[in-house]
């Protein structure tokens, strides 16, 4: 609702409601089954097939009801437009995430699968009916004031201040033993106070025959509360379900193809453990500093406009994951201690007495066995982006049916945690580093270093004022970054593949072969084949003796053309129009697959 109360004062009020449901439906209640065709019975690896129901789909429902309210007033005082107001959001969340609740089995070979002899069995069994599902409210209050000052006919300054405060209620159920041992309070998710966000912008129009302006700004910006990541603390308190994990076959728990009636170990014991998710002490919601400086001008050539802009961002509070129960925690709040350091400088969490001859049960050797997976989402101040964009464009004009643009963007971006997944385990797993829990920034997962763009558009009204349009868009860009990883668990944190690859210097630097029991059996042919392959890999061959960096390599250059054909038509009512269109993405590939 917009209201003009006087010539100098106006108000705006908005209220909205959204009801959202994401219910993952399956046609089966079978457990998750993976059959490997390589490795050993104790440590299956290599090629595999999946059967049954994907583990994260065993129970997966999200429902939200969101109310948003916004109110603002604008007061004109001479050369100043002062805008002030508030917005309030109340998000009611229901989240049911029962990964592994129908059982997750790994088998070595078809014969073992046929006989029901699994190599590993994982089950998340609810502690009471309905205990996995959680309900909570996430609320945010934002207050803002902004002064737009028209200094003169050329210069406009915009100065603002915004404050945001987020809360969640009720708090996750407090787990005193886990909080005491690991040093974090699992019932606390938001830091508490307001985040104050100052902002300043300007626009300067030059006195020139050609339209020309310089623009820019700087400020601190907070986004929406990351509900899906924070929500993990509500449905993984240690009391929602009990985690059972077996890394060798136990005939007391035979394979059961009925996911709804899995074998639950009686009495808990050493096999039953809690999964717990923590949020960092004094946790702050994500925020970044942004700054930009841009210049736009008419060129005087063919009605074209030239623009150039530099954009900078610096992480104020970013997010990344730690895995807290992969080794011994010597004191609350400390990272887990490795068992030893590998020859490449990597922290290793395997049983040191079985050095080299490890099975999956030897990982996370020094962990607290009252707990299974324990993750912490915490703040980082590392990560930034520098971006330069230049464009030359010819907008539509009354004298021509054509418009076009050409542009180039250079981007350099770094990050600690790409946060590519909704679950804490996957979020940690896709955070590539030499050492687990490292707060180290590396090349951004989605950085496009060089991007060229172009567009060519034509339109003409053949029938009355109903336009026929054709548009062609080109993008040529550098390939996305990627990493070289060990396919297996190289550091013993029970997650794979997430360990950066060490590139041997040459024959004899590392051992190639296999184990027969605890005896190593060298394989000269394997070693020869590896170094033959390495010699042909330019990426890795030039960095022998080092660990390949996270996202330090880049896929091939990509070129693509997209085509749109559209036609305006009469609408259903007077003075209305309708439009039909056809989009052909990557039309060049359709014409020539090479």
Contact 316, 362 (CB under 8 A): no
Contact 145, 158 (CB under 8 A): no
Query: For residue 90, what pLDDT is reported?
Result: 95
Cβ partners under 8 Å of residue 161, min gap 6: 144, 145, 146, 196, 197, 198, 199
Q: For the chain, state the CA radius of gyration.
A: 29
Contacts of 206 (CB under 8 A, 6+ apart): 154, 212, 213, 214
Instruction: Report yes or no: 290 and 313 within 8 Å, Cβ to Cβ.
Output: yes
The helix/strand/coil state of 220 is: strand
Task: Tell me the pLDDT of the chain (594 aa) as tens digits.
Answer: 999 999 999 999 999 999 999 888 888 999 999 999 998 888 888 899 999 999 989 988 889 999 999 999 999 999 999 999 999 999 999 989 888 999 999 999 999 999 999 999 999 998 888 898 889 999 999 999 999 999 999 999 999 999 999 999 999 999 999 999 999 999 998 867 899 999 999 999 999 888 999 999 999 999 887 888 888 999 899 999 998 988 889 998 899 999 999 988 875 434 688 999 999 998 999 999 999 999 999 998 988 999 999 999 999 999 999 999 999 999 999 999 999 999 999 999 999 988 777 877 889 999 999 999 999 999 999 999 999 999 999 998 877 899 999 999 999 999 999 998 888 998 999 999 999 999 999 999 999 999 999 999 999 999 888 999 999 999 999 999 999 999 889 999 999 889 999 999 999 999 998 887 778 899 999 999 999 999 999 999 999 999 999 999 999 999 999 999 999 999 888 889 999 999 999 998 877 766
Q: Measuring CA to CA, which residue among 268, 278, 277, 279 is closest to residue 243?
A: 268
Q: What is the distance between the alpha carbons of residues 416 and 383, in angstroms, rounded to a whole number? A: 6
pLDDT at 593: 64
Query: b/e string for 378-401 if b means 16 or more Cβ within 10 A?
Result: bbbebbbbeeebebbebeeeeeee
Structure tokens at 511: 């051992």
Beta strand 481-482 pairing with 485-486: unpaired
Listed in sequence order, the DSSP H helices in 417-505 are 424-429
Closest CA to 377 of 177, 197, 227, 176: 227
In the chain, count of helices (H) and strands (E)?
A: 8, 32
Position 268 scores a pLDDT of 44
Number of C-beta neighbours around residue 571 at 10 A: 11
E strand or H helix that includes residue 230: helix 227-230
Identify the CA nearest to 320 among candidates 195, 415, 192, 233.
415
One-character DSSP codes across 488-550: S-SSSSS--S-EEPB---STTSS--EEEETTEEEE-HHHHHHHHHHHHT-HHHHTTTTSBPPT
Tokens found for residue 373: 């997976």
Structure confidence at residue 271 (pLDDT): 60
What span, in angstroms and rounded, lies between the C-alpha atoms of 324 and 182?
7
CA dist 539 and 374 (Å) reads 35
For residues 326 and 348, is the Cβ–Cβ distance under 8 A?
no
User: CA 423 to CA 446: how far, in whole Å?
Assistant: 19
At residue 594, the pLDDT reads 63
pLDDT in tens, 484-522: 999 889 999 999 889 999 999 999 999 998 887 778 899
**pLDDT value at position 130?**
85
């Amino acid at each position: 609702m917009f209201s003009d109360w006087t010539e100098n004062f106006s108000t705006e009020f908005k209220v909205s409601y959204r009801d959202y449901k994401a219910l993952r439906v399956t046609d089966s209640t079978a457990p998750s089954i993976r059959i490997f065709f390589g490795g050993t019975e104790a440590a299956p690896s290599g090629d595999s097939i999946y059967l049954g129901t994907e583990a994260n789909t065993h129970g997966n429902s999200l429902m939200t009801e969101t109310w948003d309210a916004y109110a603002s007033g604008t007061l004109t005082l001479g050369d100043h437009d002062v805008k002030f107001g508030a917005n309030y959001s109340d998000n009611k969340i229901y989240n049911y995430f029962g990964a592994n609740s129908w059982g997750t089995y790994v088998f070595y070979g078809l014969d073992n699968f046929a006989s029901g002899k699994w190599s590993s069995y994982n089950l998340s069994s609810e502690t009471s009916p309905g205990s996995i599902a959680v309900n909570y409210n996430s609320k945010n209050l934002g207050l803002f004031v902004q002064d737009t000052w028209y200094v003169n006919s050329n210069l406009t300054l915009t100065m603002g201040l915004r404050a945001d405060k987020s809360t969640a209620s009720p708090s996750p159920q407090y787990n005193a033993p886990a909080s005491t041992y690991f040093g974090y309070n699992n019932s606390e998710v938001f830091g508490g106070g307001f985040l104050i966000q100052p902002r300043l912008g300007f626009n300067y129009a030059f006195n020139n025959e050609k339209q020309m302006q310089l623009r820019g700004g700087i400020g601190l910006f907070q986004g929406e509360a990351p509900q899906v990541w924070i929500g993990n603390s509500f449905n993984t308190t240690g009391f929602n379900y009990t985690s059972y994990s077996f890394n060798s076959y136990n005939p007391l728990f035979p394979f059961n193809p009925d996911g709804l009636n899995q074998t639950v170990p009686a009495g808990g014991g050493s096999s039953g453990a809690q999964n717990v998710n923590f949020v960092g002490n004094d946790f702050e919601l994500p925020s970044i500093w942004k700054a930009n400086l841009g210049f736009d001008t008419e060129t005087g050539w063919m009605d074209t406009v030239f623009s150039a802009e530099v954009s900078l961002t610096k992480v104020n509070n970013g997010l990344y994951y730690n895995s807290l129960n992969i080794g011994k925690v010597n004191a609350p709040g400390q990272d887990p201690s490795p068992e030893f350091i590998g020859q490449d400088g990597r922290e290793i969490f395997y049983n040191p007495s079985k050095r080299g001859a490890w099975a999956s049960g030897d990982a996370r050797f020094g962990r607290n066995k009252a707990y299974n997976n324990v993750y912490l989402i915490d703040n980082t101040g590392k990560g930034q982006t520098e971006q330069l964009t230049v464009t030359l464009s010819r907008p539509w004009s009354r004298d021509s049916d054509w418009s076009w643009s050409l542009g180039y963007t250079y981007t350099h971006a770094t990050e600690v945690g790409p946060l590519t997944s909704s679950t804490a385990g996957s979020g940690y797993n896709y955070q590539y580093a030499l050492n687990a829990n490292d707060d180290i920034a590396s090349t951004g997962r989605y950085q496009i270093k060089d991007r060229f763009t172009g567009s060519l558009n034509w339109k003409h009204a053949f029938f009355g004022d109903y336009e026929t349009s054709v548009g062609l868009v080109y993008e040529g860009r550098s390939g996305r970054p990627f990493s070289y990883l060990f396919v297996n668990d190289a550091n013993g944190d029970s997650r794979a593949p997430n360990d950066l690859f060490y590139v041997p210097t040459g024959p004899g630097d590392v051992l190639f072969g296999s184990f027969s029991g605890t005896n190593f059996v060298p394989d000269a042919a394997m070693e020869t084949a590896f170094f033959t392959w390495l010699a042909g890999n330019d990426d890795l061959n030039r960095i022998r003796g080092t660990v390949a960096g996270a996202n330090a390599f880049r896929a091939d250059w990509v070129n693509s053309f997209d085509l749109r054909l559209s036609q305006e038509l009469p609408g259903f009512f007077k003075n209305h129009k309708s439009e039909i269109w056809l989009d052909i993405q990557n039309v060049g590939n359709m014409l020539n697959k090479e």
